[in-house]
Amino acid sequence: MALPLGVVRAGALMLPLAQMPAELARGIVGVAFDVDDTLTRHGRLERAAYDALWKLHDAGVRLIAVTGRPLGFAEVYARQWPVDAAVGENGAGWIRWEGDVRRAGFAADLGALDRQRELLDRVATRVAAEIPGLPLAADSWLRRCDRAWDVGESYVASADERARFVAICTEEGAKVTTSSVHTHAVPGEWDKATGIALALRDALGTTLETERWVFVGDSGNDAAAFARFDRTSVGVANLRVDELTYRPAYLASKSHGEGFAEVAALLLGARS
């Protein structure tokens, strides 16, 4: 039986997605979602997820893609997918297309970005010297605000390599966040939760009402959004619980893109 609307809890016990109260699901106006291993499987966008995006879009649900991938990837998502905006580099910036007009915004101003690049260069120099086997992410050349290394996409990093990476970033003054494929040196005060709020404010001209939006994700760099959307966050079934500092409120029964499609079906079913 679904819990009453006022007693849904997150952070410790994840409820099955099917237990999301109908009145909560019915009031959802937007979905923000991670991409890698939430919409994709082995790097490929799953058909069920893409179909689900179009169904949500056609029903009038607002959509924001939120990825740790470069802003260059967010550019493509915003241009070619049925989304209202795309947030890249774990909240560092957003991109929105309005017809043929492109708009973009950043969490940091350009002067801060220049200083942050110097920090990232120091981290990269030390990583190359102290963890020589750890490769940069293949998409690094498309990044503008952070730096990412491959820990699970084409290379499996050891626990010692991961620990040393965290130590280097901490010593140099950078934060660390890790997805299912990459670990990131983050030089500024942003994350996926702040990135979503920034995109809503500056791209869509509205404020974030977390009880009217759902966030869907799968890994450690989604934890800040799971916490911000504490009553409406959902993990797909391949959720990496051991990497989380905060768990989602609900867990889908299916993994990857099929899990995202399961979320879409529940929301659309509640509307009808």
Q: Is residue 34 part of a domain?
A: yes
Contact yes or no for 14/235 (Cβ under 8 A): yes
Same domain as 196, residue 182: no
Contact yes or no for 86/64 (Cβ under 8 A): yes
Q: Which domain range does residue 36 map to? A: 22-107+190-271
The residue written with tokens 């879009």 in the block is 57
Give the pLDDT score at 110. 74
pLDDT in tens, 27-83: 999 999 999 999 999 999 999 999 999 999 999 999 999 999 999 999 999 999 999
Structural domain ending residue among the three candidates 186, 201, 224 = 186
Structural domain ending residue among the three candidates 186, 208, 243 = 186
Give the pLDDT score at 12. 58
Q: Tell me the whole-structure pTM to 2 decimals.
A: 0.91
Contact yes or no for 56/268 (Cβ under 8 A): yes
Same domain as 116, residue 90: no
Report CA 37 to chain centroid distance, whole Å: 10
Same domain as 262, residue 210: yes
Same domain as 86, residue 135: no
Q: Which residues contact 107 (CB under 8 A, 6 or more apart)?
A: 91, 92, 93, 145, 188, 189, 190, 194, 195, 198
Contact yes or no for 149/96 (Cβ under 8 A): no
pLDDT in tens, 176-189: 999 999 999 999 99
Query: 159-172 and 110-130 are packed helices; what angle lies between their axes, rounded to 10 degrees?
Result: 140
